Amino acid sequence: MEENKTLLGRNFNREDLSRSNFNEVMLAACDFSNVDFQGSRFDTVSFRHARMQNLDVEGMTIDGILVSELLRVYKEHKK
């Protein structure tokens, strides 16, 4: 069994981690900018208190619902 490794405080810049698998990974209080998650899948993930802005959500779904549709309906009801 591989021992736990800590990369606490490490900066990743211009890294290609495509097709990687992350399981039981702690990414709390991290900043992501200019990141491409196209085609990625998130399962059993906590986004509590996460802030997201300037997102391209084309085709993105949450529990099978298009995020663009959720935002459209929200904005309509907010008026």
Domain ranges in the chain? 1-79
Q: What is the CA radius of gyration of the chain?
A: 16
79 residues of the chain, pLDDT tens digit each: 566 788 889 999 999 999 999 999 999 999 999 999 999 999 999 999 999 999 999 999 999 999 999 999 999 998 8
Instruction: Please say whether the beta carbons of 66 and 60 come within 8 A.
Output: yes
